[in-house]
Homo-oligomer: A and B are copies of this chain.
Amino acid sequence: MSKSIPFSARSWVHGSELTEFPIQNLPFGIFSEGYLGHCRVGVAIGEWIIDLSRLHALNYLSMLPFENDDFRSKSLNKMMMRGKKACSALRLRIADLLDSSQDAIVKDEFTSCLVKMSEAKMHLPVDIGDYTDFYSSEDHARNVGMMFRDPAKALLPNWKHLPVGYHGRASSIVISGTPIIRPCGQVNASDETQPSFAPTKQLDFELEMAFITFDGKPMGERISTAEADDYIFGMVLFNDWSARDIQRWEYVPLGPFLAKNFASTVSPWVVTLDALEPFRTIGPPQDPEVLPYLQYTGIKNIDINLQVAIHPENGNEVVVSNSNYKHMYWNMNQQLAHHTIGGCNMRCGDMLASGTISGPTEGSFGSMLEIAWKGTKPVDMGNGTTRNFIHDGDVVILRGYAEQEGIKVGFGVCSGKVLPAKD
């Protein structure tokens, strides 16, 4: 059974085919209504959210292995614990109910399960167990290497042999719309002097995407590149906020710490891997050949248009990057195979981010560090100000969508406004 919904399909939900959430998408998220409303699992269609607990209560999902509690939850984890097969079937069942050919009675009953997006509040979609950040865009790694190391040896020796990654902080991953307070920390421009304590002067975004896992195998077992798809639920946009000056002083030898753990922002809707299958595309050739456990068959990159915009407090939104997820050197299957090759266990709700996604050309870089090239190419904001890094009051907005035959499968918005540092 194909898990894809044909591009020709249309929903009876008016206008949904013109939005980022057509019947071909059907992403999952957690929403609530009103001030004290309970959190529940929802699926996006057009400008509406389908309340799955109501749909389940109406017996429309009774042939599927879910209980109502799976949908009356603060996270998608309970639902995801039912497994990939069940979640794929759930999405296809919803697509069937939403199809324009559906009976009037069904449409009528179904309509009682729809909540207007504009009247709902979105929440963090998953209870994140562990969060890992990779570093899998060659252009990003090369740009950073050129800026801070020998330009002739911009990539480190290990970079093309393994998807470099590190563990990050799960507690401070927040939903789009959450304000980001400028962090303070130790900075030291040279290593010779005493460090000082100050708000970061180099607050940056990182344009990333993250995938969310189903429950994995027990500790000690591996997930192969061939099996990886079965353990991936879906993807979100991910802004890995970074304080470059704090990072510079702290990160040798054990990696970034306070420079990253003050906040990361994710988009609210988890677009399933099923929905993204039609947008698979061939990844960059990998040379030198990778070790057998990192080899894979099939087409594993995905063509997802990505955009970053900055909206300053006094001014209009300025697009500062147009990139694409297809540029990734290491794909998700390789990332998951690598992560588990030593026996590390994945759990339901783990989040694995791509690392900054830069394209090969100026205009497609995924961080201010690269866009303003270490402060040498300030970005004109059109309101009389320029940016090398992010200012207080700026809203940073990530957007992303895959598109084919006029149908957009989108991720919505991943945004955060920067507030001044605390005393």
Q: Which A residues contact B (CB, under 8 angstroms)? A: 129-130, 135, 156-158, 161-162, 164-172, 174, 181, 183-186, 188, 191-192, 194-197, 219-222, 243, 246, 249-258, 261-263, 288, 291-293, 338-339, 341-347, 350, 422
Contacts and interface: CB of A to CB of B under 8 A. Distances in A.
Contacts of A181: 219-220, 343
A91 to B, nearest CB: 27
Given A288-B194, A343-B263, A422 B167 contact: no
Contacts of A293: 197
Q: Which of A129, A253, A257 has the most chain B CB within a 10 Å cutoff?
A: A253
Q: Which of A157, A183, A249, A293 has the most chain B CB within a 10 Å cutoff?
A: A157
A25 to B, nearest CB: 30
Given A172-B345, A220-B181, A262-B342, A166 B197 contact: no
A166 B166 contact: yes
Contact of A172 (B219, B261, B292): B219
A255 B253 contact: yes
Contact of A347 (B171, B220, B246): B171
5 contacts: A162-B249, A183-B342, A219-B263, A251-B253, A254-B256
Given A262-B343, A342-B243, A343-B183, A254 B171 contact: no
B158 A249 contact: yes
A349 to B, nearest CB: 10
Given A250-B158, A288-B194, A130 B257 contact: no
Nearest to A221: B422
A291 B184 CA distance: 13
A250 B162 contact: yes
B220 A157 contact: no
A305 to B, nearest CB: 27
Contact of A342 (B191, B196, B246, B253): B246
A288 B243 CA distance: 25
Given A291-B186, A341-B185, A166 B167 contact: yes
Copies in the complex: 2
A291 B183 CA distance: 16
A256 B162 CA distance: 13
A164 B254 contact: yes
Contacts of A157: 188, 191-192
Q: Which of A166, A192, A263, A288 has the most chain B CB within a 10 Å cutoff?
A: A166
A342 B256 CA distance: 13
B261 A344 contact: yes
Contact of A292 (B174, B197, B221, B347): B197
Given A167-B169, A195-B291, A288-B194, A342 B258 contact: yes
Given A171-B350, A185-B341, A197-B291, A158 B252 contact: yes
A64 to B, nearest CB: 28
A155 to B, nearest CB: 11
A270 to B, nearest CB: 20
A258 B344 contact: yes
Given A197-B292, A291-B197, A344 B262 contact: yes
Contacts of A183: 342-343
B164 A250 contact: yes
Contacts of A249: 158, 162
Q: Which of A185, A192, A249, A292 has the most chain B CB within a 10 Å cutoff?
A: A185
